[in-house]
């Protein structure tokens, strides 16, 4: 598998970095968990009996479209509140303290959800609060990871966000499936309380997490930055030289390319970076992930499956396995190729499902139904290899240091402002045109291919400071891969590579001595 021992991930990922990457990414697990338990619950009759109404046309209990829209869409709206608060929190409190704020907000929302045993609207309020915490997470987690990770494994480091998101979704769906036989109150209380592992994990790991070195340099706390670098990369690392280079680069950027406000994201070469950051997030949502997360169970019920939750567990399990491979592919194959290929196959799968069910669900043979499920499984697996982790990788690395908080704000808003209308409108569209809904999402994947080809440059193996140089030099999209940087960013990457090579040689010598 890609020559595991020769991969940059195997060589550069220390136990310390692994610990940090896993625990910081727990915020994403909350996103996946809340999305999936809600999507699973919408397809269960006991949940509909508790919060819905009887539908004579289907001879079954249902959650009305207006309640589906309110419960799903207002949750997404809560994310916007968190996104708007995150830049101020990250820049004034720091990246690390913002993680603690995120955990506190998630805890309050989960308690509200868990105690909503009779009130649907309390459940909705709880989801708004939870999603406010998720909005904070969608900004601070990629920012923290991108500012801590070495350039050669930054893709894998940021992929952890997508992995925990998928894992949270899989875990929630599995718990909902296993709790079907319990009384409604106990089933959903169990599901929601499982989500408390997210803020509890963050709070317990908090004392062991460092502040990001780049934030400390931006704040003029140079001695603390040296300590943080040695904490991340080892006591042997030449932290003093890296801090000096980062300090010079920050001073150069402030002198020649000063940018401090949200409006600066839309000025000069920063405009291009903002378009990329927003574009990938908008297109991720437009290709159908909200549909899969929130409405796949109801969609499979329409197809005629007697146990749609079981098939949803299979879909998410396949996505989780694919997500593991993406730890290697983005740093091996690159961002641009992964995103373009992913959009191509996602378009094929969604259009295939839409075309198969275009004439309605009645009369579909078991073979046709299984074919639809197979295409949805493949769609989710391809998504987990490409657009799932890809947007978080690009969001974390595409913005310049002076505007990283604001670029991530705009990027996250692009995602969630797109998901809100999708979540509100999808139940009505799905009720009117059925399976043809998938064709709409497939057409956006075709648009995503064009966006990647014309707008998305290759950013792998580059330090964040090298990306500043290339964007400011207006390097074209197709020339990014082969461009030779000569500024301070290149020196920072060379220092990282030199230290890593020295560390590898030291390990090899230790192994030889141990063998002798």
Q: For 334-368, write each residue's pLDDT tens digit.
A: 999 999 999 999 999 999 988 887 776 666 777 87
Question: Could you tell me which residue, 242 or 373, shows the higher pLDDT?
Answer: 242
Confidence class for position 1, pLDDT limits 50, 70, 90? very low
Given a contact cutoff of 8 angstroms between Cβ atoms, the answer to whether 411 and 52 are in contact is no
- What percentage of residues in the chain have a pLDDT greater than 90? 36
Q: Which residues pair with 53 in a beta bridge?
A: 62
What interhelical angle do 120-148 and 387-397 show, nearest 10?
Answer: 60
Confidence of residue 10 (pLDDT cuts 50, 70, 90): low
- Closest alpha carbon to 467 in 389, 392, 391, 401: 401
Give the chain's mean pLDDT.
83
C-alpha 234/C-alpha 17 separation (Å) is: 10
CB atoms under 10 Å from CB of 179, counted, come to 22
Q: What is the pLDDT of residue 360?
A: 66
Q: Quick count: other Cβ atoms within 10 Å of Cβ 118?
A: 10
- Map out the domains of the chain with their CATH numbers: 11-211+264-485 (1.20.1250.20)
- Kind and range of the H or E element at 430? helix 404-433
Rounded to whole angstroms, how far apart are CA atoms 64 and 44?
A: 13
Query: Taking a C-beta distance cutoff of 8 angstroms, is the pair 319, 383 a contact?
Result: yes
């Amino acid at each position: 598998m890609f020559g595991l021992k020769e991969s940059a991930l195997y060589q550069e990922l220390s136990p310390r970095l692994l610990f940090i990457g896993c625990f910081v990414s727990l915020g994403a697990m909350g996103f996946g968990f809340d999305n999936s338990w809600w999507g699973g619950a919408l397809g269960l009759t006991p949940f509909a009996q508790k919060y819905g109404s009887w539908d004579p046309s289907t001879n079954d209990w249902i959650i009305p479209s207006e309640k589906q829209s309110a419960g799903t869409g207002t949750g997404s709206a809560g994310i916007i509140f968190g996104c708007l608060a995150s830049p101020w929190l990250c820049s004034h409190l720091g990246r690390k303290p913002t993680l603690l704020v995120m955990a506190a907000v998630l805890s309050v929302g989960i308690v509200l959800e868990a105690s909503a045993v009779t009130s649907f609207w309390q459940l909705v309020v709880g989801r708004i609060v939870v999603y406010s915490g998720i909005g904070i997470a969608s900004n601070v987690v990629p920012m923290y990871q991108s500012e801590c990770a070495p350039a050669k494994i930054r893709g894998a480091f940021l992929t952890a966000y997508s992995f925990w998101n998928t894992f949270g979704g899989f875990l929630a769906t599995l718990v909902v499936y296993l709790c079907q036989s319990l009384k409604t109150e106990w089933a959903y209380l169990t599901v929601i309380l499982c989500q408390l592992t997210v803020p509890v994990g963050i709070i317990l790991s908090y004392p062991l997490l460092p502040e990001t070195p780049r934030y400390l340099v931006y704040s003029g706390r140079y001695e603390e930055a040296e300590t943080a670098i040695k904490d991340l990369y080892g006591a042997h690392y030449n932290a003093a030289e890296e801090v000096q280079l980062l300090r010079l680069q920050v001073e150069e950027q402030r002198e020649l390319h000063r940018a401090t406000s949200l409006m600066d994201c839309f000025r000069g070469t920063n405009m291009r970076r903002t378009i990329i950051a927003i574009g990938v997030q908008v297109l991720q949502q437009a290709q159908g992930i909200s549909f899969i997360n929130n409405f796949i169970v109801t969609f499979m019920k329409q197809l005629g499956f007697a146990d749609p939750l079981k098939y949803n567990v299979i879909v998410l399990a396949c996505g989780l396995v694919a997500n593991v491979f993406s730890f290697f592919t983005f740093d091996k194959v690159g961002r641009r190729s992964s995103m373009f290929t992913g959009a191509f196959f996602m378009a094929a799968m969604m259009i295939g499902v839409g075309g198969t069910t275009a004439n309605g669900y009645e009369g579909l043979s078991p073979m046709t139904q299984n074919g639809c499920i197979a295409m949805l499984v493949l769609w989710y697996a391809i998504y987990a290899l490409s657009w799932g982790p890809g947007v978080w990788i690009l969001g974390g690395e595409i913005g310049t240091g002076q505007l990283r908080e604001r670029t991530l704000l705009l990027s996250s808003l692009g995602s969630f402002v797109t998901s809100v209308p999708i979540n509100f409108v999808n139940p009505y569209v799905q009720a009117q045109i059925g399976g043809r809904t998938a064709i709409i999402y497939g057409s956006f994947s075709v648009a995503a291919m064009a966006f990647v080809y014309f707008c998305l440059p290759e950013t792998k193996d580059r330090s964040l400071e090298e990306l500043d140089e290339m964007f400011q030099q207006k390097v074209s999209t197709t020339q990014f891969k082969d461009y030779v940087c000569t500024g301070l960013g290149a020196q920072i990457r060379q220092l990282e590579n030199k230290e890593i090579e020295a560390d590898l040689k030291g390990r090899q010598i230790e192994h030889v001595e141990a063998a002798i």
